[in-house]
Amino acid sequence: MSRGSFTSVARAVAWRSIHSFFTNPAIIIPSALFPLFFFTAFAGGLSRVDSVPGFDFDSGYTAFVYGFVLLQASAFGGVFAGFAIARDFESGFSRRLLLAAPRRSGIVTGYWLAALARALFTVGLITVVALVAGMDIAAGGLDLVGLYTLALLVNAATMLFGCGVAMRLRTMQAGPAMQVPVFLLLFLAPVWVPYDLLTGWVKTAATVNPITLVLEADRGFIAGDPVKVLAAFAVAAGLAALMVLWARGGLRSAEQAA
């Protein structure tokens, strides 16, 4: 009879995912390169945009873009963790996990810990590159804590979302079902310009998009001028909490199928 505890299960699952990530160039390189690439392309290609009348952000365009790319990397880091779970289901490995682990919630926690480790790696890399590129960051210590905590909450929310999808569909075909909603949430927000400079239906979408609040709080932290902090944390934490329920439902679905 297995004596595995919640912690031991979570640790085992996390270790496997983390090990797989850091030892597999085919996984680690795109995970590192994509966010870096977007950062470079937006910050380099669009920097003149901060000269548009009404562009109100004192820390410069590089820092402005950094705020978005940080969230993008965190969010997609969570989605890629969902891909890994779907892959495990398709290969049959998850079935073994479900049968072997006495505390199955530990499995989800383990995947989440791995997603966290991946996010920390990617975020660290982007931050280093942004600083080397001369990003002007006016954030104080507390601002930085707020900034990265928000990013990690977003990472948790998307990871749990992806987990729920992967556990329900149990196939790599679930990829678009994880990617597209996250993509839309991220891009229907003030990505390249502040909210006030958006026009048309995109502005309307950004108005109702909860990620807009998170992104604006993000940029506020970077500029050392926190804005909408409570609302942003409420949104991020609320999404994460909702996704916990979603992931648990997915786990139940997977258990029934195992």
Partner 1 sequence: MSGGFAFQVGALARRSVLRTLRQPAMVIPSLFFPLLLLSINAGGLDSATELPGFPTDSYLQFALAIAFVQGALFSANSAGTNVSNDVETGFLNRLALTPLRRLALLMGQLAGIMALGLLQAVTFLVVGLVAGAGIEAGVTGAVVIVVLSLVISLAFGSIGAFVALRTGSGEAVQGIFPLLFAALFLSSMALPRNLIETAWFREVATYNPVSYMLEAIRSLVIFGWDGEALALGFACAGGVALIAILAASSALRTRMVRT
Rounded Cα–Cα distance for residues 200 and 28 (Å): 38
Does position 149 interact with partner 1 (CB under 8 A)? The reply is no
Does position 51 interact with partner 1 (CB under 8 A)? The reply is yes
- Give the HSE-up count for residue 201: Cα atoms under 13 Å, Cβ half-sphere: 0
Task: Please give the DSSP secondary-structure letter assigned to residue 224.
Answer: T
Does position 44 interact with partner 1 (CB under 8 A)? The reply is yes
Question: Judged by CB under 8 A, how many residues of this single chain contact partner 1?
Answer: 32
Does position 54 interact with partner 1 (CB under 8 A)? The reply is yes
Cβ density class 12-50: b for 16+ within 10 Å, e for less: bbbebbbeebeeeeebbeebbebbbebbeebbeeeeeeb
CB of 168 to partner 1, least distance (A): 20
Does position 215 interact with partner 1 (CB under 8 A)? The reply is no
Read off the tokens for 157.
């929310």
Q: Contact at 8 Å (CB) between 153 and 236?
A: yes
Does position 34 interact with partner 1 (CB under 8 A)? The reply is yes
Q: Contact at 8 Å (CB) between 37 and 129?
A: no
CB of 122 to partner 1, least distance (A): 15
Rounded Cα–Cα distance for residues 97 and 30 (Å): 27
Q: How far is CA 59 from the centre of its chain?
A: 24
User: Out of 6, 55, 57, 233, which residue is the one contacting partner 1 (CB under 8 A)?
Assistant: 55
User: Out of 48, 92, 132, 256, which residue is the one contacting partner 1 (CB under 8 A)?
Assistant: 48
Does position 43 interact with partner 1 (CB under 8 A)? The reply is yes
CB of 135 to partner 1, least distance (A): 13
Residue number, 32 or 258, with CB nearest to partner 1: 32
Does position 33 interact with partner 1 (CB under 8 A)? The reply is yes
Does position 25 interact with partner 1 (CB under 8 A)? The reply is no
User: Out of 129, 160, 166, 193, which residue is the one contacting partner 1 (CB under 8 A)?
Assistant: 193
CA dist 238 → 199, 210, 219, 230 (Å): 28, 10, 20, 12
Rounded Cα–Cα distance for residues 8 and 114 (Å): 14
Residue number, 47 or 149, with CB nearest to partner 1: 47
Torsion of Cα atoms, 9 then 15 then 20 then 25, to 10°: 160
Task: State which of positions 90-109 bind partner 1 (CB under 8 A).
Answer: none
User: Out of 2, 5, 19, 45, which residue is the one contacting partner 1 (CB under 8 A)?
Assistant: 45
CB of 91 to partner 1, least distance (A): 16
Residue number, 67 or 250, with CB nearest to partner 1: 67
Does position 172 interact with partner 1 (CB under 8 A)? The reply is no
Single-letter code of the amino acid located at 91: S
Which residues contact partner 1 (rule: CB under 8 A)?
30, 33-34, 37-38, 41-49, 51-55, 187-188, 190-193, 197-203
